[in-house]
Structure 1
Amino acid sequence: MLDPRFKLHVFRNQVYAADIKKTVIDLVTTNINKNLPVQQREDVDAPEEPIAKRNKFDIWDEYDTIVNTVRPEGTPRSQAVLEVQRYLELPVTGRQQDPLEW
């Protein structure tokens, strides 16, 4: 399934395809959960610069502030399901292409 040349197309039995898809979703969910506390800790440890210390208005400072406050929506499980589904919806690469280059 993880080879972009084949994905789920090589499974003759749809039960096996569903099982491997569930396994990959579980692995991605675990990875998201593992990284979640690190992201939260970084947010808490990073002190925000007081507005009074900013010398002038900078559009990029405003942009950075907005982007840094954006958080992925949904649960780790729903994020994993979406990530795997997006991957599966991408076109299959050519059989002669190197999957590691993809």
Structure 2
Amino acid sequence: MTTTAQATEIVVAGEVDHSTVARLRACLNGELRLAPRAILLDLAAVTFCSVDGVRALIDTALSARQAGIRLAITNRSHPVDRVISLLDLEQMLPVQRTPERLTVPE
């Protein structure tokens, strides 16, 4: 995790499933409570993402939006891309590769 005055970058690696999602949620919720201007999620090193992981990402996106915190996924691995595409969640969890132009999806 990297924190600057502008944003917190969280790099997620490995499998995101039932056995690891509580740790991911704790990390994401902790950052939301700190209320940074933006949270950048780098999911390029995720090798597997279960429905539990996707639910955590959706919940974080909704909570960030409610708190006025910009959330962006800066990189997605193929497994993450695939599940987001299959569930038609590109609008809610888009990739935004240029953090300078972060937007909150509507």
Q: Which has the higher helix share?
A: 1
Q: Which has the higher strand share?
A: 2
Q: Which TM-score applies when normalising by structure 2?
A: 0.27
Mark the structure with the bigger radius of gyration.
Answer: 1
